[in-house]
Amino acid sequence: RMLPIREGQARAMLNEAKLEPHLKGFRDSPAVNIDALVAAIEAVANFAAANAHWLESIDVNPIIAHRQSCIAVDALIVPRKL
């Protein structure tokens, strides 16, 4: 997606990726907090858009989602070469 993403686009991206069955509980795993996951995606996208003048790329992988929250385990932020 092109930045900035608008409200609702992060949730639509999750739906397009066909992740809903996994996020709503899968093979005895509890459902995750989809709102927290959407908020994390939007926060990274907003950060990238606000810092586009110096930011080459950003990679957040993996994000682990739980019932109450989600956490980014690793992230790589690459600045533009001046």
Give the C-alpha separation, 19 to 16, whole Å.
8
Q: What is the pLDDT of residue 5?
A: 87
pLDDT digits (tens, 9 = 90+) for 14-23: 889 988 888 9
CA neighbor of 20 nearest in space, from 44, 38, 7, 2? 38
pTM of the full structure: 0.88
Question: Which residues of the chain are under the pLDDT cut of 70?
Answer: none
Please count the other Cβ atoms lying within 10 Å of the Cβ belonging to residue 44. 19
Indicate the helix (H) or strand (E) that contains 63. Answer: strand 63-65
